[in-house]
Amino acid sequence: MKRYAIIVAGGKGTRMGSELPKQFLTLAGKPILAHTLDSFYRFDPTIELVVVLPASQQEYWKQLCADYRIDIPHRIASGGETRFHSVRNGLALLPDEGLVAIHDGVRPLVTHAVIEACFQAAQACGGAIPTLPLTDSLRQILPEGNSRAEDRSRFVTVQTPQTFRCSEIKRAYDQPYQSTFTDDASVYEAAGYTPHLVQGNRENLKITLPIDLALAEILLTR
């Protein structure tokens, strides 16, 4: 099946403490978003890429592409009010046939093995999300202000790329927006589908805080 990837890059950099949106910050000599695009292009040069950016950032991104000689083929979709609306705008550019990986623009360190595992599981099962087991202990905050220990083996953390059959995820995104939609899998699940879990990779961190950027720099240049 034909493969697509939507790279969602609508961050503002508030928690990074930067006026520059975090997807444009320099990492190992080029913008974070360029590394993310490169990860998918090197995985499969025939993959069709869509970058979702706020309209106000699109000209700046085009200038960065010229400045850094970023020549990876991709289309640009306009971001929406929320991530949900941004993804829906990206999906509107795709046909109903095929498979689509939806990935955070600030996760530049996803491995090719994880991308391939997600595509294979999505083709077989309809939808797939990369996850990792928890390593820290877990506690639930109770309404009365106390807390209690939880069995961490019953939980996983979720990464991207969350990958789906195009027809199913487009149908899921036809739903009205709900505040409980925290990622693509939650939208997919609300439409009556069940995503398959695959093993993620530890390096696939979402660059949100300055410490994440420093760690990504070390991982990319080691």
What pLDDT, on a 0 to 100 scale, did the predictor assign at position 10? 82
How far is the C-alpha of 135 from the C-alpha of 200, rounded, in Å?
14
Read off the tokens for 2: 């034909």
Q: For the chain, how many helices (H) and strands (E)?
A: 7, 12
What pLDDT, on a 0 to 100 scale, did the predictor assign at position 68? 98
179-188 residue pLDDT tens: 999 999 999 9
What pLDDT, on a 0 to 100 scale, did the predictor assign at position 93? 98
How far is the C-alpha of 79 from the C-alpha of 101, rounded, in Å?
17
Nearest to 4 by CA among 166, 127, 116, 196: 166
57-89 residue pLDDT tens: 999 999 999 999 999 999 999 999 999 999 999
Nearest to 7 by CA among 129, 105, 112, 111: 105
Q: What is the mean pLDDT of the chain?
A: 96
Say how many CA atoms lie within 13 Å of 207 toward its Cβ.
33
Q: How far is CA 90 from CA 21, 48, 93, 147, 194, in A?
A: 20, 12, 6, 41, 22
What pLDDT, on a 0 to 100 scale, did the predictor assign at position 88? 98
Matching CATH number, 3-221, of 3.90.960.10, 3.20.20.70, 1.10.1040.10, 3.90.550.10: 3.90.550.10
What pLDDT, on a 0 to 100 scale, did the predictor assign at position 19? 82
Read off the tokens for 99: 């498979």
Per-residue pLDDT of the chain in tens (222 residues, 90 and over written 9) = 999 999 999 866 555 667 899 999 999 999 999 999 999 999 999 999 999 999 999 999 999 999 999 999 999 999 999 999 999 999 999 999 999 999 999 999 999 999 999 999 999 999 999 999 999 999 999 998 899 999 999 999 999 999 999 999 999 999 999 999 999 999 999 999 999 999 999 999 999 999 999 999 999 987
How many other CB atoms are there within 10 angstroms of residue 59's CB atom?
Answer: 10
Q: Tally the residues of the chain.
A: 222
CA 8, 13, 16 angle in degrees (round to 5)? 125
